[in-house]
Amino acid sequence: MATVSDEILALKTQAKNRRDLRRYSKAVEILERAIELAKNNINNEELRSQMAQELVDSYGLLGGVERRWALEPDNEERKEHLEKSIRAYDAAYKYESGDYGVLNSYGMLNRLVSRLLLKPESLFVEGVSEFGKDVEPLSMREKLEESRRNIETQLSRPRRDDYWAAADLALVNVLLEKQDPISAYAGFIQKSPPNYAFKSVLDVVRPFAQLQWKLAETFEALTAYLEQRMPTS
């Protein structure tokens, strides 16, 4: 008999398949079912931590689908889908940062990435920036610095060998101009991440190279570097 986790996994797999076929609306619909299923079971003490992790993952996937949808060429609804992406990642961060025993930086960082894609100039503004209806205003530099400290703490022990954490820290350091791309991503490269991890990281950095902003050339160089270092299989 299939467990709740089995059902959620099946839904997430279906959603990823639809996403990869660029059937974004269907992927969103499937992920909303996965989210509802996890929410319905999070008050079960035996499943609480596991369902919180599923909510982090499912909301994160939803944020990623909406972001891909937003970044489709000539998308007239770019702003709307980026706002939806932000709200999904904010929801992932809620469970990630709560008292559910989830240790991650997925929602914490991606909610900032989607905000920057929507409003790149917010990175260079002192104080709080607005990002649209029903989207939490944030001070981007303050939150990036906070993320950097949190990820460094995670990497110091519990996520020491985690290449995802290394990639997250590298991105923050490049955005804050604390390191050049090659030195920033050295920790990620040293952990010998698989091909799919490179692809995931490139999905995040490539759009930054296409923005009209101060860091475009930095991210162009980073994209080229990661493409050169990516394993062939």
Grouping H, G, I as helix, E, B as strand and the rest as coil, residue 129 is strand
d(CA 233, CA 231): 6
Report phi then psi at 40, rounded to 5: -65, -15
Give the model's pLDDT for residue 14. Answer: 98
Task: Note the pLDDT of residue 199.
Answer: 96
Domain stops at, among 112, 147, 182 = 147
**Assigned domain for 97 exists:** yes
Tokens 């639809």 sit on residue: 18
Residues 134 and 169 in one domain: no
Q: Do residues 119 and 207 share a domain?
A: no
Read off the pLDDT of each residue in 50-59 and give the average, rounded to a whole number: 97
Q: What is the pLDDT of residue 157?
A: 86
Amino acid at 28: V
61, 89: one domain: yes
Task: Report how far residue 184's alpha carbon sits from residue 170's, in angstroms, rounded to the nearest whole number.
Answer: 5
Query: Does the pTM of the predicted model rise above 0.85?
Result: yes
Query: Which pLDDT tens digit goes with each residue over 142-178?
Result: 999 999 999 999 999 889 999 999 999 999 999 999 9
Residues 113 and 45 in one domain: yes
pLDDT of residue 219: 98
Percent of the chain with pLDDT over 90: 93
State the residue range of the domain holding 199: 161-233
pLDDT tens string 124-136 = 999 999 999 899 9
Residue ending a domain, choose from 123, 147, 171? 147
Q: Angle 135-107-79 (CA atoms, 0-180°, nearest 5)?
A: 40
**Residue at 153 is within a domain:** no
Query: Can you tell me the distance from the alpha carbon of 67 to that of 70, in angstroms, rounded to the nearest whole number?
Result: 5
Residue 156 located in a structural domain: no
Give the C-alpha separation, 98 to 101, whole Å: 8
Look at residue 53 and tell me if it is in a domain: yes
Confidence of residue 232 (pLDDT cuts 50, 70, 90): confident
C-alpha torsion sign, points 214, 144, 140, 61: positive
Tell whether 103 and 211 lie within a shared domain. no
> Could you tell me the CA-to-CA distances from 15 to 67, 77, 84, 165, 215 in Å, in that order?
14, 21, 17, 24, 33
Same domain? 111 vs 177: no
Amino acid 2: pLDDT: 79
Per residue in 217-227, pLDDT (tens digit) is: 999 999 999 99
Residue with tokens 């709307």: 80
Residue 17 pLDDT: 98
Domain match, 165 and 143 both: no
Instruction: Tell me the C-alpha distance between 165 and 197, whole Å.
Output: 11
- Among the ranges given (30-34, 99-103, 116-120, 189-193), the one the predictor scored with the smallest mean pLDDT: 99-103
Show the CA angle centred on residue 17, arms to residues 185 and 67, nearest 5°: 50
Structure token digits, residue 4? 């709740």
Gap between the Cα atoms of 207 and 216, Å rounded: 9
Residue 31 has a pLDDT of 98
For the chain, what is the radius of gyration of the CA atoms? 17
Asked if residues 15 and 34 have their Cβ atoms less than 8 Å apart, the reply is yes
Q: Record the tokens describing residue 215, joined without a space.
A: 């860091």
Find out whether 174 and 184 touch, Cβ atoms under 8 Å: yes
Confidence label for 1 from pLDDT (cuts 50, 70 and 90):
confident
Q: How many domains does the chain have?
A: 2
Contact 15, 30 (CB under 8 A): yes
The answer to whether residues 137 and 38 belong to one domain is yes
Last residue of a domain, one of 97, 125, 147: 147
